[in-house]
Amino acid sequence: MNIPYAAKQYLTELKEVLDDFNLEQFEKIVNLILNAYEDEKQIFTMGNGGSASTASHFACDLNKGCCTNLEKKIKMICLNDNTPTLLAFANDVSYDVVFVEQLKNFFNPGDLVIGISGSGNSENVIKAIRHTKQNNGQTIGFSGFSGGKLAQMVDVPFVAKVDDIQKVEDIHMILVHMIMQAIYSALQPRGQK
């Protein structure tokens, strides 16, 4: 195995995906999050595996990174962070309902739900998005490959168009950091860092 060649190939392919980055969808996502903030709505996010890590990181970046010094806060909850609740639903009911059952406890009409699924076909994410749409919520979906079911059903899809789950996850993490910086810039007083 030629390690430098493999690394260069990975970076070349990742750059190609970044060169095709959908800035129009990015702007729509940022605006939905800012609208939720202005309207004092809750924002929920979720994912499985690497996407769960991205969802958790996303909630941390927006809750802490964007408004620590502001009186009004972003209200973002990562549904895969409560491990006991997640495992109780998975064990006692079904893994397909681990997110939707939590939404039934906390979701209010107008809240924003962000589903993250590399394939776009994670059934537990799909069920939570379906519940959100049936109960007058706003939805965003991060997916990869061809977008899967998730991209077809959310209000604002963001598809990392690459058939490689690691690169999909890379793009989603870059997207999260770009969103965080855009939200930070919009909320912070001028000159504040």
Residue range 3-187, CATH number: 3.40.50.10490
DSSP 8-state assignment for residue 189: P
Give residue 189's pLDDT: 78
Span 127-137, average pLDDT: 98
- Residue spans of the domains in the chain: they are 3-187
Query: Is residue 67 within 8 Å of 40, Cβ to Cβ?
Result: no
Beta bridge partners of 46: 115
Q: What are phi and psi of 69, to 5 degrees?
A: -90, 5
Give residue 138's pLDDT: 98
- C-alpha to C-alpha distances, 106 to 11, 13, 176, nearest whole angstrom: 41, 40, 23
DSSP 8-state assignment for residue 97: G
The pLDDT tens digits for 151-169 are 999 999 999 999 999 999 9
Span 27-49, average pLDDT: 98
For residue 159, give the amino acid letter: V
Instruction: Quote the CA–CA distance of 128 and 139 in Å, as a whole number.
Output: 10
Give residue 132's pLDDT: 98
* Res. 1 pLDDT band, cuts 50 70 90: confident
- Per the prediction, the chain carries an average pLDDT of 96
Gyration radius from the chain CA atoms:
17
Give residue 193's pLDDT: 54
3-class SS letters over 44-81: EEECCCHHHHHHHHHHHHHHHHCCCCCCCCCEEEECCC
* Residue 73: pLDDT over 80: yes
High-pLDDT (> 70) share of the chain, %: 98
Instruction: Quote the CA–CA distance of 181 and 26 in Å, as a whole number.
Output: 12
Give residue 190's pLDDT: 59
Give residue 135's pLDDT: 98
Helix (H) or strand (E) holding 170, with range, is helix 165-187
Give residue 192's pLDDT: 55
DSSP 8-state assignment for residue 96: G
Span 117-131, average pLDDT: 98
* Residue 191: pLDDT over 70: no
